[in-house]
Structure 1
Amino acid sequence: MSRRIIFIAGTTAELIKIAPVMHELKRRGRRYGYWSTAQHSDGVAETLADLSIEQPELLLVDEAHARGVVSVRQVPGWLLSIGRSVAKNRRLIKSELHQGIVLVHGDTFTTVIGSLIGRIFGAQVGHIEAGMRTGNMWSPFPEEINRRIVGRLAHLHFAPTSREVANLAKVATHKGVKVICTGANTVVDSLREVRDSLRPTAFDLPARYGLVTLHRFELVRDRDAYRDVLYALKEFSRQFPLVILIGKSERERLHEYDLENVFDDHFRRIDKSSYRTFQSILMGASLVVTDSGGLQAECAALGIPCAIHRTHSEQDQGIGQNVLLTGQNIDTLNAFLQEWETFRRPPCLDQFQPSKIIVDEIDSAWNA
């Protein structure tokens, strides 16, 4: 069997950021496969359709664990299921991966699992969005630990900017390891691919509004911190309408914390939607408040004023320009909300093509 390129992914964010790499490979006539850990299930089918990605060739979990991971307590059973699946399919996995390339993305549990599978079965491991660090082992947890583990497992590190290249200076000295600067996050390619085909959403949104997404474990599992930011945003929504996107895990926390009454006509709650619908909402937004690193990169490319409500960020894209890191401080967030219009910058979406750089390097590694 010929050597193959296999993407191992499990979350919607990973799919969004590997999709343009898949598309670039397809344009060049290169074979690749996609295997899923089903770390997320909510919205995955819609995301696959929106991004023109086929269903995974191999599901690395059993049916009982294919419903996604929405809480920390589900992780051990999910990991055990992956272990059983890998053992069951070891002959197929070995034949597919021997001397091939495994591509993983970001900082999830799936990123670590995919890297380990690649290593164990004799493939080169390429890490997309490599080298991001907050410098704090426990913030965000477990993402920062995941990044450091994958930093020791990958052979090809695709770092978005020179900052991430510098973070990988030590691993770059190891034999057989290469660090490549792609110039930007691959999310800019995904944005560019959908930009010209977006349609108005089915939601009756105000002419001007702000977009909110808050979903990270370290925030939503902290009752006081989650409540404080929601009430600060509710207060601001009296001046400027806000739309918040809510997923399954956030719905559970809102119910548990008795915070469902925070929302009203000014601070409107919408269930998480497909990728294209989300991009329509994002590109129509006047400002963004989020704890998402992916959305930070998108806003940096689009020039939209954005507050990152986290104590630390693993990247500096947009910070000091149209993006403000709040340090998870409510006073800092409120200050941003009072002067958000001063943060707007011109978009730079068309300046970078990171997926082409990644595929160029894969071709080079393949032929070495």
Structure 2
Amino acid sequence: MRQKVLAVFGTRPEAIKMAPLVKELLGRDTLQTKVCVTAQHREMLDQVLQIFQIVPDYDLNIMRKGQSLSEITTRVLLDLDSILTQEQPALVLVHGDTTTSFAAALSAFYNRIPIGHVEAGLRTYKKDSPYPEEANRQFVDAISDVFFAPTEQCRQNLIREGKKAEQIFVTGNTAIDALQTTVDLDYHSEITDWVGKSRLLLLTAHRRENLGSTMEEIFRAVRRVVQENEDVKVVYPVHPNPAVVSTAEKVFHGCDRVLLTKPLDVVHFHNLMSRAYLILTDSGGIQEEAPHLGRPVLVLRNTTERPEGVAAGTLKLAGTAEESVYESVSQLLTDSTVYGQMSRAVNPYGDGHASRRIADEIVRQLLQSDGSR
């Protein structure tokens, strides 16, 4: 009898990173893999599902306008409970640090179903940075049974917290697996036509802790850079959060070398990353993806749960203050030596085979547990 695995995810970043793993699991004859999406992000999630041709077995469709973290948590808990009762999987797989992952792991724990945590062990050890992700991932690791750590440093974090070494597996990050299928050397679009021969700065900013005056400072720094460098253009796929949209429109109004777009699907975004001169982001996953493409990353935060990239030289913490962001960007635009060092640094986040390693270990673990019954 095939062992059943239920993969649960709900946001665009989760879907990008879980898609290659789901595909790998579906190809394993010893497993019966089912997918449940919460649709914490609706339209952005659907884009990824369509691109990777994944059809969920269950869709909780929880997204509501202006939903709070409490509402997301309770809806996932209530709706997932009946699915777990019906399916009784041998393992529930969750990813990373979203509220979907936290609630899904908690639901599995309440149903006494083992939990596998993909992208386990990332830490800043500052519960509000990033918020609520740092707390979410610590909560998930506290109740998980199998840990798929992307790096050795993540593994060491888990061991220091008392997790059993034999239940932790260093796999690399599945984000790199996804990149292997999306980047096209012949890619072009209306956006690349607009950029032309200018140096492209690709910007993403959406974190809750950066909303308001902090985000204004970041955007003012970017505007100054554009005004002072005629060969620079900025593309900013704006997160649909109304607070982000209003700030971006206010600060960048009248700046014709800053292009504000709607969120891009994963194929367009990955290919823009591959063509960017540098990337400015407060996102987590981009810190792993961009170095694989040889693109320097300025992290628009004061802390990162991915210090391996900073140590390797692929990432630099630019902070969030206007002057700090402005100086960091200006240095990479003017200092070819510093730029070259960052663009040639070795990506510490894997080789594109993380999904295979995770699937191999899931098969081994479940066969082992089945044989012990």
Instruction: Calculate the TM-score normalised by the size of structure 2.
Output: 0.87
2:111: which partner in 1?
121
2:63: which partner in 1?
66
Establish whether residue 225 from structure 1 lines up as the match of residue 224 from structure 2. no
1:344: which partner in 2?
343
The Cα shift of 1:142 comes to 1.1
1:33: which partner in 2?
34
Q: Give yes or no for contact 2:155–2:170 (8 Å, CA) kept in 1.
A: yes
2:14: which partner in 1?
14
1:201: which partner in 2?
189
- Aligned residue pair count: 352
Q: Give yes or no for contact 2:238–2:245 (8 Å, CA) kept in 1.
A: no
1:212: which partner in 2?
203
User: Could you say if the C-alpha distance between residues 252 and 171 of structure 1 is closer, same or farther in structure 2, counting changes exceeding 3 Å?
Assistant: closer
- Residue type matched to 1:82 in 2? V
User: Could you say if the C-alpha distance between residues 27 and 195 of structure 1 is closer, same or farther in structure 2, counting changes exceeding 3 Å?
Assistant: farther
1:51: which partner in 2?
52
The Cα shift of 1:273 comes to 1.5
Distance (whole Å) between structure 2 residues aligned to residue 167 and residue 155 of structure 1: 15
- Residue type matched to 1:40 in 2? H
Distance (whole Å) between structure 2 residues aligned to residue 158 and residue 97 of structure 1: 22
- Residue type matched to 2:34 in 1? G
Q: Give yes or no for contact 1:246–1:269 (8 Å, CA) kept in 2.
A: yes
Establish whether residue 97 from structure 1 lines up as the match of residue 85 from structure 2. no
Paired residue secondary structure (1:288): strand
The Cα shift of 1:118 comes to 1.9
Matches within 5 A, 1:162-201: 162-171=152-161, 173-174=163-164, 178-182=167-171, 184-196=172-184, 199-201=187-189
Coordinate RMSD, CA, aligned? 2.4
User: Could you say if the C-alpha distance between residues 256 and 227 of structure 1 is closer, same or farther in structure 2, counting changes exceeding 3 Å?
Assistant: closer
Partner residue of 1:77 out of 64, 71, 77: 71
Q: What do the CA deviations read for 1:270-298 (whole angstroms, capped 9, x no partner)?
A: 11121111112111111100001100001
User: Could you say if the C-alpha distance between residues 137 and 233 of structure 1 is closer, same or farther in structure 2, counting changes exceeding 3 Å?
Assistant: same
Q: Give yes or no for contact 2:201–2:276 (8 Å, CA) kept in 1.
A: yes
User: Could you say if the C-alpha distance between residues 86 and 350 of structure 1 is closer, same or farther in structure 2, counting changes exceeding 3 Å?
Assistant: closer
- Residue type matched to 1:6 in 2? L
Paired residue secondary structure (1:211): strand
Partner residue of 1:290 out of 281, 285, 291: 281
Paired residue secondary structure (2:43): coil
The Cα shift of 1:174 comes to 4.8
Distance (whole Å) between structure 1 residues aligned to residue 353 and residue 2 of structure 2: 28
- Percent of counterpart pairs with the same letter? 26
1:255: which partner in 2?
246
Q: Give yes or no for contact 1:289–1:308 (8 Å, CA) kept in 2.
A: yes
Q: Give yes or no for contact 1:15–1:48 (8 Å, CA) kept in 2.
A: yes
- Residue type matched to 1:344 in 2? S
Paired residue secondary structure (1:300): helix
Q: Structure 2 regions of 5+ residues with no counterpart?
A: 369-373
1:304: which partner in 2?
295
Q: What do the CA deviations read for 1:45-71 (whole angstroms, capped 9, x no partner)?
A: 2211112211x212235xxx434x6x5
User: Could you say if the C-alpha distance between residues 121 and 270 of structure 1 is closer, same or farther in structure 2, counting changes exceeding 3 Å?
Assistant: same
Q: What do the CA deviations read for 1:201-236 (whole angstroms, capped 9, x no partner)?
A: 23333133110000111112xx21111110110111
Distance (whole Å) between structure 2 residues aligned to residue 277 and residue 257 of structure 1: 21
Paired residue secondary structure (2:25): helix
Distance (whole Å) between structure 2 residues aligned to residue 284 and residue 294 of structure 1: 18
User: Could you say if the C-alpha distance between residues 108 and 12 of structure 1 is closer, same or farther in structure 2, counting changes exceeding 3 Å?
Assistant: same
- Residue type matched to 1:43 in 2? M
Instruction: Calculate the TM-score normalised by the size of structure 1.
Output: 0.88
The Cα shift of 1:144 comes to 0.9
Distance (whole Å) between structure 1 residues aligned to residue 186 and residue 254 of structure 2: 27
- Residue type matched to 1:185 in 2? N
